[in-house]
Structure 1
Amino acid sequence: MKFMVIVKATPASEAGIAPSEKLFVDMGNFNEELVKAGILLAAEGLQPSSKGARIRFDGAQRTVIDGPFTETKELVAGFWMIEVGSKEEAIEWFKRCPNPHEGVASEIEIRQLFGPDDFGTDLPPDVRAQEDRMREQLATR
């Protein structure tokens, strides 16, 4: 099972304040544990929303909205992609994670990714075949 583990933003992360050296080291050590366990697929921090944009869809219309975005608690500051046997295993791993925002209450969110099998017969066979081809191509990169 694949999961995205989402680090919620804080006012400090949105201001672009870098973590302390200790947090860099602690997070690096935690990430190394995930790699050694063979479960880490990707892990990245995100630039503040002031450097981002949103695209709003309304029918055929597309509207680009440049950052920053005001609702900090709704923003993502970083993420991990992991592959583990269950949600419970993901929870156990991330209970050991250093607090991603030192000195303040923060939270991470664990969300399972959909796979083609999760859609059962609702996924048209040609779309399933397309998904399989794309996943094979990605695996060779």
Structure 2
Amino acid sequence: MRFMSIVTSTDFLQPSPALMEAIHKLADREIKAGRMIDTAGLMPLATGARVTIKDRKLSVVDGPFVEAKEVVGGYAIFELQSKEEAVALAVEFMQLHKDLMPGWEGTCEVRPYFEPNAEGVCDPLAEARA
């Protein structure tokens, strides 16, 4: 089952060299185990843009975004056996931040991918019913 972990924080802080080294070791381990498919950190909001549809109008706004309360800082995609396994990896990842970046506050959200059933229809609750 495929999962995405999404890391959010209230602001962008440059990770310390020690944290980056620890994250790279964790990622290397998971890639070698065949469990991590992709991962990346994202640049600050000032470097991005938002494309929005509101009231049937499409608009583009360059960052930074003053109304942003949480910022997506990065993501990882895993192929795992269970939600519990995905949560355990998220806990390990967040513990690195707690230990190596004191004062940082954030969240790591874990969400499974939609997976089509035999008829090709996505059913996000199929595992829960099984």
TM tier relative to shorter chain: 0.7 to 0.9
Report the AA paired with residue 101 of structure 2. E
Report whether the alignment pairs 1:92 with 2:88.
yes
Tell me how large the CA RMSD over aligned residues is: 2.4
Q: Which has the higher strand share?
A: 2
What per-residue deviation string (whole Å, max 9, x for no partner) do you get for residues 82-130 of structure 1? 1101111111122222217811232211011112229x5757xxxxxxx
Report the AA paired with residue 20 of structure 2. F
2:117 alignment counterpart: 117
Report the AA paired with residue 115 of structure 2. G
The normalised TM-score by structure 2 is: 0.78
CA distance in 2, matches of 1:8, 1:39: 22
User: Which structure: larger Rg?
Assistant: 1
In the alignment of these two chains, the number of paired residues is 118
- Equivalent of 2:26 in 26, 30, 36: 30
Unaligned runs of 5+ in 1: 124-141
Report the AA paired with residue 116 of structure 1. P
Q: Which has the higher helix share?
A: 1
Q: Which segment is superposed worse, 88-97 or 52-61? A: 52-61
Deviation at residue 36 of structure 1 after TM alignment = 2.1
What per-residue deviation string (whole Å, max 9, x for no partner) do you get for residues 26-82 of structure 1? 111111121122110100000111111111113652111211123554220000011
Unaligned runs of 5+ in 2: 123-130
Contact 2:9/2:72 (<8 A) preserved: yes
